[in-house]
Amino acid sequence: MLEELKKEVVRVAKAAEDMGLCRHRSGNFSVRDRETGLICMTPTGVDRQTMRPEDVVVMDMEAKVVESLNGLRPTSEALMHLAAYDERSDVTAIVHTHSKFALVFAVLR
């Protein structure tokens, strides 16, 4: 189910890790399928370097897990992602990082 979107979530999550935008399992990623409205979301507790498309969790907008091939749970930030998608119909992807650059910017105001 939604295999191409799952691959894209994994690709972006790994790229963000490689760029230093998030470390040690911080941050999470999701994408909304325009046709079905289902959300492909990174799971909780999985290292991005070993993450595979079959680890990605598929949810509906009511936070029900529709597919989890490996029995994994979605990120603990799932409700935040769903709220953003609910509020903004034009948003089709969310990249939530814990970038050291954003942290420094926030601290320095």
Residue whose structure tokens are 């894209």? 8
Q: Which residues of the chain fall below pLDDT 50?
A: none
Please tell me the predicted confidence (pLDDT) of residue 63.
97
Pairing of strands 39-41, 65-67: unpaired
Q: Rounded to an integer, what distance in angstroms lies between the CA atom of residue 85 and that of residue 63?
A: 12
Query: Minimal CA–CA distance to 62: which of 75, 79, 76, 77?
Result: 79
Catalytic site residue from 3, 54, 67, 77: 77
CATH number for the region 3-108 comes to 3.40.225.10
Please tell me the predicted confidence (pLDDT) of residue 25.
67
Catalytic-residue membership of 3: no
- Residue spans per domain, the chain: 3-108
Q: What is the pLDDT of residues 18-45, one digit of tens each?
A: 888 887 667 899 999 999 999 999 999 8
